[in-house]
Amino acid sequence: MSVTVTPLQALSIDELRQRTSTKWRKYGEDVLPFFVAETDYALAPAVTRVLTRAVELGDTGYTPPDPGVREAFVGFAGRRWGWTVDPSHVSWTGDVMMGVVEILRRVIEPGERVVVMPPVYPPFYDTVEEAGGVVERVPLVASEAGWEIDLLGVEAALAGGARAVLLCNPHNPTGTVHSAETLAALADIAQRFEATVVSDEIHGPLAYGQTPFTPFLAASESARRVGYAVTSASKTFNLAGLKCAVMVGGGEAQAKVLRALPAEVEWRTGLFGALSNVAAYSPESDEWLESLLAALDANRLLLADLLAEHVPQARYLPPDAGFLAWVDLSAYGWGDNPAVKVLREAKVALHHGPLFGTEGRGHVRINFGCDPGLLREAVERIGALAGG
Tens-place pLDDT, residues 119-171: 999 999 999 999 999 999 999 999 888 999 999 999 999 999 999 999 999 99
Give, for 298, the enclosing helix (H) or strand (E).
helix 286-310
Query: What mean pLDDT is predicted for residues 242-271?
Result: 97
* pLDDT of res. 144: 80
Taking the CA atoms of 98, 101, 170 and 335 in sequence, report the sign of the dihedral they define: positive
The alpha-carbon radius of gyration of the chain (Å, integer) is: 20
Q: Is 203 helix (H, G, I), strand (E, B) or coil?
A: coil
pTM of the entire structure? 0.97
Determine what percent of the chain falls in helix, strand and coil, rounding each to the nearest 5.
Answer: 45, 15, 40
Identify the CA nearest to 74 among candidates 63, 85, 66, 89. 85
Q: Does 207 score more than 80 pLDDT?
A: yes
* pLDDT of res. 386: 84
* Residues 132, 137: Cα–Cα separation, whole Å: 16
* pLDDT of res. 2: 57
Buried b (16+ CB within 10 A) or exposed e, 259-292: eebeeebbebbbbbbbbbbbbbbbeebeebbebb
Q: Which domains does the chain have, with CATH numbers?
A: 13-42+286-386 (3.90.1150.10), 62-281 (3.40.640.10)
8 A C-beta contact, residue 331 and residue 294:
no
Taking the CA atoms of 345, 349, 354 and 355 in sequence, report the sign of the dihedral they define: positive
* Residues 282, 161: Cα–Cα separation, whole Å: 42
- Report CA-CA distances (Å) from 208 to 205, 213, 214, 296, 368: 9, 8, 12, 9, 15
Tens digits of residue pLDDT in 282-328: 999 999 999 999 999 999 999 999 999 999 999 999 999 999 999 99
